Amino acid sequence: MNICVFCSSSNGIADSYFSEAKTLGTLIGKSGHTLVNGGGNVGLMEESAAAAKKAGANTIGVIPVRMHERNLTSENSLEVIITDDMKDRKEQIREISDAFIALPGGFGTLEEILEVITLKQLTYHNKAIVFINTNNFFQFLFKQFEVTFSENFAKEEYNQLYYITENAEDAIEYIQNYKHIEKFSKWFKVPEK
């Protein structure tokens, strides 16, 4: 199974985030899966890819040509796919991945994971999506989700589009046992005029 890991490219974050990324990469490798990521040689991207490769996983890095030309491509990517731009990078990652995990990260990570949630909501795919909430990093994002549900901007049943866990072990177990979601009920009724 190709498991995509969306995560930080920062090297300036706490060691606990690197530790969880390493654990996740190791588990992906030991479970016989392939790690797919953004192909960068920095931050949690590099940490998880290095650990996965060391544990025997195939690793696929999908990186835009602009970043590749700046020598930002990870040597831990056994297969490198070079794309024209960020849009193509995300599309390639989505197409080749069977599941998605978000480790803590910045704006890019948030955009990537929210896009796959949105596409799942719109039935473009039915793949597992997991947040690993290391150090309660995503707590305020989840609070925003709650407000979104309570204010009827999205149906509460859409909380089934993703799974939240505190650790990599649970994330891998969830993905390995994932059952496709049945169709959700129709969107809110349009009021009659």
- In-domain check, residue 35: yes
Q: Domain of 80?
A: 2-176
- In-domain check, residue 192: no
pTM here? 0.94
Give the tens place of pLDDT for each residue, 101-111.
999 999 999 99
DSSP state of 159: G
- In-domain check, residue 151: yes
Check which CATH number belongs to the domain holding 70 and give it.
3.40.50.450
Q: What is the mean pLDDT of the chain?
A: 95
> Residues, the chain, total?
193
- In-domain check, residue 148: yes
What distances in angstroms separate CA 72 from CA 16, 81, 119, one per listed residue?
23, 13, 29
What distances in angstroms separate CA 158 from CA 6, 23, 92, 94, 126, one per listed residue?
21, 29, 25, 20, 13
Q: Residue 123 is encoded by which pair of tokens?
A: 């039935």
- In-domain check, residue 80: yes
Give the tens place of pLDDT for each residue, 19-33.
999 999 999 999 999
Domains identified in the chain, total number: 1
- In-domain check, residue 168: yes
- In-domain check, residue 193: no
- In-domain check, residue 184: no
Other CB atoms within a 10 A radius of the CB of residue 98 amount to 16
